[in-house]
Structure 1
Amino acid sequence: MAFDVAADAYDRFMGRYSVPLASELLEALGVEPSDRVLDVGCGPGVLTRRLVELLGPAQVAAVDPSTPFVGAARERLPGVDIRQSPAEELPFADDSFDAALAQLVVPFMADPAAGIAQMRRVTRPGGAVAATAWNHAADGTGPLSPFWRAVSAADPGAYDESDLLGQREGDLVTLFRDAGLADVRQLTLTIEVTHGTFEEWWEPYTWGVGPAGDHVAGLDDAGRQRLHDRARELLGDGPITIVGNAWCAVGRA
């Protein structure tokens, strides 16, 4: 999966949607000023930054397996304990945090069940564990769903993200309950982003980020132009307003 990319590319591809999602997540959770919180799969630091704004750098820790993302997050957020690590092997002691959060990460964990179990382990009894994932099921309403619909129209039967665990209704809840979390509930978080032009919307898909970037990178010139044109037929010249929904599961350790 293409996440060993420059942080700026990720920011302009997914950051345009994950920044407002981070605010929605923290508003739903009601993080307390005294909480110590872990951001699992922090990427270049979108959710981590919002946590630092609320809590201060000493109260925040973060992990990510991507070398360029960890480097960017450390540069952007001095004073935060940011470590290179997969979710399945969190380098912290039991009960180290009041909350552990994973924004848009579960579908890309090598072992989602192990990742959620680790989040539970490092969270104190009664503390919150939460995760989000875009609704990218086959009939999904995530912010990348218009792109995947264009892919389907241009190349019927092509791979999309709909089979990744966590992106269907109930997936995250099942993972949380299987990990032994209590009081598990599902929320739907919604973001809205307007792109001034079609090209502003399209260009970040050509930068090789994530499954969508993998798909575009694997096309020849004719295939890429066909997808570009099909997407433009579906979305128009702009402005383009993207309304995206994310599943959110919240439980207690």
Structure 2
Amino acid sequence: MTARYDTIGLNYADLRRPDPRIAAHIDAALGDARRIVNVGAGTGSYEPMDRDVVAVEPSTEMIAQRTADAAPAIQGSAEHLSFDDDSFDAAMGVLTIHHWSDKARGLAEMRRVSRGPVVLLTFDVAFRDICCSIIFRN
């Protein structure tokens, strides 16, 4: 499996740092979920450290940049999650959905493997100067 970030993410972990304000919103949206799947996890910047997280990431380059204390990562895509139904208390994805080839399928997969909230942080480049982040919880 090749992924865009295998090429453009060569020093991603050096450049991206989590914003604690965004992390707090994600943490609150996850509620009391203990077991979480992080779809399109990248280097794991916003993964909660006090919960059981499994990361799914298509890019081997991004997986290689994950720190030793990051959640375990498997190579995969949002559209084809390799977990049983209701395997997790919650699903999350941070700045990932715009990379998916089939957004509806990816969201359906997140819903299928999670019995709790699906938390997404995304942005719309058309409104870059107005809004930088939005969190949806359902």
- TM-score over 0.5 for the pair: yes
Q: Following the alignment from structure 1 to structure 2, what is the Cα–Cα distance between the partners of residues 76 and 12?
A: 15
Picking from 123, 133, 137, the partner of 1:246 is 133
Contact conserved, 1:106 with 1:133, CA < 8 A, in 2? yes
Q: Summarize the alignment of residues 98-113 of structure 1 with structure 2, pairs less than 5 Å apart.
A: 98-113=89-104
CA distance in structure 2 between the aligned counterparts of 1:66 and 1:94, rounded to whole angstroms: 24
Aligned to 1:170: none
Higher normalized helix content (fraction of residues): 1
Within 5 Å, give how 1:145-164 maps onto structure 2: none
Number of residue pairs matched by the alignment: 135
Does residue 124 of structure 2 align to residue 135 of structure 1? yes
Q: Give the TM-score, by structure 1 length.
A: 0.48
What's the C-alpha RMSD, in Å, of the aligned pairs? Answer: 2.4
SS in structure 1 of the partner of residue 12 of structure 2: helix
5+ residue gaps, structure 2, are none
CA distance in 2: counterparts of 1:86 and 1:101, whole angstroms: 13
Long gaps (5+) in structure 1: 143-243
Indicate whether 1:76 and 2:68 are aligned: yes
Q: Any residues of structure 2 matched to 1:1-253 within 5 Å, and which?
A: 2-5=4-7, 9-13=11-15, 15-16=16-17, 19-20=18-19, 22-32=22-32, 35-48=34-47, 51=48, 53-55=49-51, 59-73=52-66, 75-77=67-69, 80-124=71-115, 127-137=116-126, 139-141=127-129, 245-251=132-138
Deviation, 1:140, is: 2.9
Deviation for aligned residue 1:103: 0.4
Instruction: Tell me the SS of whatever aligns to 1:54.
Output: coil
Deviation at 1:76, TM superposition (A): 2.6
- TM-score (normalised: structure 2): 0.83
**Identical counterparts, % of pairs:** 30
Question: Post-superposition shift, 1:47?
Answer: 1.8
Once the two structures are superposed, residues 114-133 of structure 1 have per-residue CA deviations (whole angstroms, 9 ceiling, x without a partner) of: 10000000001xx1001111
The structure having more radius of gyration, on CA atoms, is 1
Inter-CA distance 88–29: structure 2 relative to 1 (3 Å threshold): same
Distance 1:24 1:68 in 2: 27
State the shift of 1:8 in Å: 6.1
Secondary structure of 1:46 counterpart: coil
The DSSP-based 3-state class of the residue aligned with 1:44 is coil
